[in-house]
Structures are given as structure tokens and as C-alpha cells.
């Protein structure tokens, strides 16, 4: 606790969590993102009311790994459902109905498919909350202007955790790449 206060400066000064700058439109935001990437920032993000195509490249981000997680759980659902049906129908409670085989992948396929789908859907949405680092508190929410990010505003935020972060220099840099309404994200 004491160490944190020392890092943040005097005990009563507001803690700086990062900086925020607004941009005019998707094209400006993309060009600014390219410059941020080239300047070597690590902990930063662009914010826009809708996904902008090509932004991953402009930010130097890799593809999402979510599909791999989903593929794994789809397999778990598939194998689990087949095992469940085999064990209950052929082992635990064998019922002879019109001479049909106790284990039949044909008869069991619809439910196996349904389970694979159920597991993939649940893992997609639960996995998504992990990948997007779901949290109800985030430095960007300290800004009042940030409310426009879900409306018609385009923003770049830099976190104070970024190794290059310096309250003054980062703000100057954001201004130099075309940012307006530049502000520090401070706890109020």
C-alpha cells in the first residue's frame, strides 16, 4: 500500500491510470493506431462504437484464439454426449425395444450433435468474457467524454501500466498524431 502511494506521488494527488484522446472518424483513428503501434506502445487500445475493419492490422494485433477454446469444448460435448448415451442405454439401463441395437451411433447422433452445439455455444460466450477481460471497472470510465465511445466517438486510450507511459509525453504524442480532447484518466 505504502509502495503504491510512493509510486503515485503524494498521498493526496489523484492516481493517474492512463491517457485518453479522441479522433474524428474511423480513418483518423486507424492512422493514429498505426502510429501508436510504430511508436512501440504496448498497453493501449482503440475504442469505436462498432468494429472497424483493418484495425487489428493497424494495431498489430493477432487473430483471436477463441475458436480453439470453442473447438476443444465442442469435442468435449460430442464425446461426453456419446459416452452418456452409451453408458445409460447399453450399460446401466439396457432396454430392448423392437430388437434395436443397444448402442447405435445413428440413433444417438442427434443428441450428440445437440450437446456439441450446446457446449460450443456456452464456451463461446463464457470464453468471450475472459478474452475481452470482462470487468465492471476500467480506467477509461473515469472520463466523462468516453460516454461517446458507444455512440459516435473514436478514442485511443493508453494505460499507465505501459512501460513508455509518461503523463506529459504521452499526452503530447497523442496530440501530435491528431488526437483532440486529450485528458488524463484520473480517479476522482
Residue 9 sits in the site that holds another protein (CB under 8 A) = no
Which of 83, 104, 176, 180 is in the footprint of another protein by CB under 8 A? 104
Adjacent-strand bridge partners of 21: 156
Residue 128 sits in the site that holds another protein (CB under 8 A) = yes
Is the Cβ of residue 120 or residue 170 nearer to another protein in the bound state?
Answer: 120
* Minimum distance from residue 4 beta carbon to another protein (Å): 23
Which of 7, 97, 168, 188 is in the footprint of another protein by CB under 8 A? 97
Nearest to 183 by CA among 135, 140, 136: 140
Is the Cβ of residue 9 or residue 54 nearer to another protein in the bound state?
Answer: 54
| CA pair distance 154, 48, nearest whole angstrom | 5
Task: Put residue 4 in one of left, alpha, beta given phi > 0 → left and psi -120 to 50 → alpha.
Answer: alpha
Residue 143 sits in the site that holds another protein (CB under 8 A) = no
| CA pair distance 30, 33, nearest whole angstrom | 5
* Minimum distance from residue 82 beta carbon to another protein (Å): 10
Q: Based on C-alpha coordinates, what's the Rg of the chain?
A: 25
* Interactions with another protein, residue window 23-82 (CB under 8 A): 24-27, 29-30, 33, 45-56, 59, 61, 63-64, 66-67, 70
Residue 96 sits in the site that holds another protein (CB under 8 A) = no
Asked if 59 contacts 37 with a C-beta cutoff of 8 angstroms, the reply is yes
Residue 179 sits in the site that holds another protein (CB under 8 A) = no
Angle CA(18)–CA(153)–CA(131) in degrees, nearest 5? 60
The DSSP output letter for 23 is: E
Is the Cβ of residue 12 or residue 133 nearer to another protein in the bound state?
Answer: 133
Amino acid at each position: 500500500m505504502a509502495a503504491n502511494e510512493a509510486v503515485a506521488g503524494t498521498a493526496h494527488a489523484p492516481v493517474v491510470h492512463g491517457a485518453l484522446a479522441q479522433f474524428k472518424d474511423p480513418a483518423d483513428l486507424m492512422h493514429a493506431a498505426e502510429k501508436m503501434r510504430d511508436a512501440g506502445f504496448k498497453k493501449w487500445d482503440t475504442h469505436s462504437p462498432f468494429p472497424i475493419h483493418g484495425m487489428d492490422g493497424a494495431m498489430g494485433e493477432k487473430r483471436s484464439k477463441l475458436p480453439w477454446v470453442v473447438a476443444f469444448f465442442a469435442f468435449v460435448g460430442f464425446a461426453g454426449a456419446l459416452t452418456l448415451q452409451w453408458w445409460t442405454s447399453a450399460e446401466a439401463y439396457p432396454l430392448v425395444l423392437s430388437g434395436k441395437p443397444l448402442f447405435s451411433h445413428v440413433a444417438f447422433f442427434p443428441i450428440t450433435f445437440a450437446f456439441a452445439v450446446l457446449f460450443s455455444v456456452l464456451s463461446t460466450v463464457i470464453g468471450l468474457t475472459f478474452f475481452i477481460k470482462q470487468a465492471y471497472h476500467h480506467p477509461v470510465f473515469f472520463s466523462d467524454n468516453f460516454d461517446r465511445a458507444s455512440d459516435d466517438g473514436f478514442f485511443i486510450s493508453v494505460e499507465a501500466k505501459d512501460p513508455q507511459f509518461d503523463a506529459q509525453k504521452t499526452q503530447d504524442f497523442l496530440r501530435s498524431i491528431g488526437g483532440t480532447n486529450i485528458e488524463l484518466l484520473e480517479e476522482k
